[in-house]
Amino acid sequence: MTEYRFIEPLDVLYLRGNKLFGDAGSYGEALMPPWPSLAAGALRSRMLADHGVDLAAFAQARDRLPELSDALHACLGTPQKPGKFRVSLFTLACREQGQVQPCFPLPSDVVVTAKALDNATYLQPTTPHPALSSSYALPQAPLLRAADPAKPQGNLWLNADGLHAWLNGEKLTKDHLLPQKELWQFDHRLGIALNGAQRTVAKGMIYTAQTVALSRRDGGNRGRDVGFLVGVDGADSLLPKDGLLRFGGDGRGAALQVVPPKDLLPAPDWRRIEQERRFRLVLATAGLFADGWRLPGVDVDNRWHGPDGCTARLVAAAVNRADTVSGWDLAKWQPKPAQRVAPVGSVYWFDDFQGKTEALGKLAAEGLWAMGDYPDSNRRAEGFNNLFIAAWPKQ
């Protein structure tokens, strides 16, 4: 069973990216939204602390520590071999009038060009004319059909109603869209490095760090509280229900709130997908694939082989430029290997679906881990390779 928590930062957040940082005059750029591993590490550390487990001893442990209960060991495992714990959802969320609702980055198959946000259009997979030649590897290309050229509007998010409409291939309106500036702002902070041995200021080591300030309601309780919504599988009621987390750089505080799972995440029209035998797949968290942007299970003929024997034909994909994920390994006290990932919001179109929609439901629930493990099992616990299944919009 998936358990959900709303993480509400109490201060600005230091969310470091992958760029080197430490020289005099350095500029520390924030990564927003952060990787799901941020939530995984914060929650697992809090669970260990709540049960009186020494964090340093756990980091160095090769086997089960004596102070770990059977349930906690089954959930967290060891740093080398994680247990059942898995972040199955990590995204921004808004709390209004006590209700928490998820927000999701605008998928790559939607283009908005009007500043009024009233002309959202779906890309349409189209077979190119035989006279055209390109390096595109799939039979159809996702194209935008518009009367006039225009520059797309960036930094847009779907609210909960917008996510429901997108999953069912319905028309998106301006009421479904949230500009980034309504969710967070960047705040620049000036810092001075310290000499830990001498407890003095390091001469000449002045730097600037970009922090993230999430939106909060004003004094009149207008507006929304913005935080992060995290879903966790395999915790077996061991997740903390309230209190604080150390979240992001400098261990800034964040409050926890239990979110009831009922009607939290919308679902696609499974009956429609079964009748039309086609669907879309969108990455809800970054995708770690052995073959670059290509999904696991796709053969040389672009035939996809999914869980429980289902198959489909991959006809088109809209994948933005690859990101790079790394991080800091607290157990080994060293950087994690840098890996290229397919970004959140990447969309894949499939037709000629053969099988039962229950297999697609399993894929949506378990992520691409339902088709086999990635070599680094820690990335499963950290919440990568999660996805949504959606209906294909009608033209």
Q: Is the pLDDT of residue 220 over 60?
A: no
Together in a domain, 92 and 217: yes
Asked, for residue 110, whether it belongs to a domain, the answer is: no
Q: Is the pLDDT of residue 266 over 60?
A: yes
Residue in this structure with the two tokens 């487990």, named with its chain if needed: 53
Together in a domain, 15 and 62: yes
Together in a domain, 12 and 81: yes
Angle at 33 between CA 170 and CA 88, to 5 degrees: 70
Reported as a pLDDT band with limits 50, 70 and 90, residue 22 is: low
pLDDT of 221 reads: 57
pLDDT of 98 reads: 86
Together in a domain, 364 and 291: yes
Query: How many Cα atoms are found within 13 Å in the side-chain-facing hemisphere of 368?
Result: 27
Arithmetic mean of pLDDT over the chain: 91
Asked, for residue 112, whether it belongs to a domain, the answer is: no
Helices (H), the chain: 37-50, 55-60, 70-76, 160-167, 270-276, 357-366, 378-381
Angle at 383 between CA 179 and CA 18, to 5 degrees: 70
Q: What would the mean pLDDT of 342-358 be, rounded to a whole number?
A: 97
Together in a domain, 272 and 219: no
* The pairing of beta strand 27-28 with beta strand 200-214: parallel
Structural domain harbouring 279 = 117-180+266-395
Measured between alpha carbons, how far is residue 7 from residues 90, 175, 187, 338 in Å? 10, 25, 20, 27
Together in a domain, 293 and 329: yes
Minimum mean pLDDT range among 12-21, 112-121, 213-222: 213-222
Domain boundary among 259, 274, 290: 259
pLDDT of 92 reads: 97
Asked, for residue 111, whether it belongs to a domain, the answer is: no
Contacts of 157 (CB under 8 A, 6+ apart): 92, 103, 104, 105, 106, 177, 178, 179, 180, 183
Asked, for residue 327, whether it belongs to a domain, the answer is: yes
pLDDT of 25 reads: 60
**Taking every pair of C-alpha atoms in the chain, what is the biggest distance, in angstroms?**
71
Query: How far, in Å, CA of 160 to CA of 99, rounded?
Result: 11
pLDDT of 375 reads: 74
Q: Is the pLDDT of residue 43 over 80?
A: yes
**CA nearest to 281, candidates 325, 312, 322:** 312
pLDDT of 394 reads: 84
Residue in this structure with the two tokens 């034909």, named with its chain if needed: 313
Query: How far, in Å, CA of 155 to CA of 157, rounded?
Result: 7
Q: What would the mean pLDDT of 300-319 be, rounded to a whole number?
A: 96
Query: How far, in Å, CA of 202 to CA of 143, rounded?
Result: 54
Structure-token pair, residue 344: 């959140």
Q: Is the pLDDT of residue 204 over 80?
A: no
148 or 77: which leads in pLDDT: 77
Together in a domain, 163 and 279: yes
251 or 110: which leads in pLDDT: 110
pLDDT of 212 reads: 95
Q: Quick check: 383 and 377 in contact, CB under 8 A?
A: no
pLDDT of 304 reads: 97
Reported as a pLDDT band with limits 50, 70 and 90, residue 181 is: very high
pLDDT of 150 reads: 86
Structure-token pair, residue 49: 């602390």
Together in a domain, 373 and 299: yes
Tens digit of each residue's pLDDT (9 = 90 or more) over 72-105: 999 999 988 899 999 999 999 999 888 999 999 9
Q: Quick check: 90 and 229 in contact, CB under 8 A?
A: yes
- For the entire predicted model, the pTM comes to 0.93
Q: What would the mean pLDDT of 18-23 be, rounded to a whole number?
A: 66
Question: What percent of the chain has a predicted confidence (pLDDT) above 90?
Answer: 68
Cα Rg, the chain, nearest whole Å = 22
- Tell me how crowded residue 120 is: count the other CB atoms within 10 A of its CB: 23
Instruction: Give the chain's end-to-end CA distance (angstroms, integer).
Output: 37
Query: How far, in Å, CA of 113 to CA of 150, rounded?
Result: 6
Reported as a pLDDT band with limits 50, 70 and 90, residue 24 is: low
Query: How many Cα atoms are found within 13 Å in the side-chain-facing hemisphere of 24?
Result: 5
Domain boundary among 219, 238, 259: 259
46-50 own/partner pairs: CB under 8 Å, 24+ apart: 46/240, 46/243, 46/245, 46/246, 47/72, 47/75, 47/76, 47/235, 47/238, 47/239, 47/240, 48/72, 48/76, 50/240
Together in a domain, 32 and 161: no
Give the CATH number for residue 351.
2.60.40.4350
Query: How far, in Å, CA of 313 to CA of 353, rounded?
Result: 7
Asked, for residue 215, whether it belongs to a domain, the answer is: yes
Query: How far, in Å, CA of 30 to CA of 337, rounded?
Result: 19
Asked, for residue 108, whether it belongs to a domain, the answer is: no
**CA nearest to 228, candidates 5, 15, 379:** 5
Q: Quick check: 62 and 46 in contact, CB under 8 A?
A: no
Together in a domain, 165 and 244: no
Q: What would the mean pLDDT of 146-160 be, rounded to a whole number?
A: 90
Domain boundary among 241, 259, 277: 259
**Tally of domains within the chain:** 2
Task: Give residue 34's identity as a one-letter amino acid code.
Answer: P
Q: What would the mean pLDDT of 245-256 be, rounded to a whole number?
A: 92
Q: What would the mean pLDDT of 360-385 be, rounded to a whole number?
A: 90
Asked, for residue 109, whether it belongs to a domain, the answer is: no
Q: Quick check: 262 and 3 in contact, CB under 8 A?
A: no
Query: How far, in Å, CA of 15 to CA of 27, rounded?
Result: 13
Residue in this structure with the two tokens 């499963």, named with its chain if needed: 380
Q: What would the mean pLDDT of 197-211 be, rounded to a whole number?
A: 82
Reported as a pLDDT band with limits 50, 70 and 90, residue 260 is: very high
- Ramachandran angles phi, psi of 255, nearest 5°: -90, 150
Asked, for residue 363, whether it belongs to a domain, the answer is: yes
Tens digit of each residue's pLDDT (9 = 90 or more) over 286-306: 999 988 999 999 999 999 999
Together in a domain, 136 and 224: no
Query: How far, in Å, CA of 75 to CA of 104, rounded?
Result: 28
Together in a domain, 97 and 188: yes
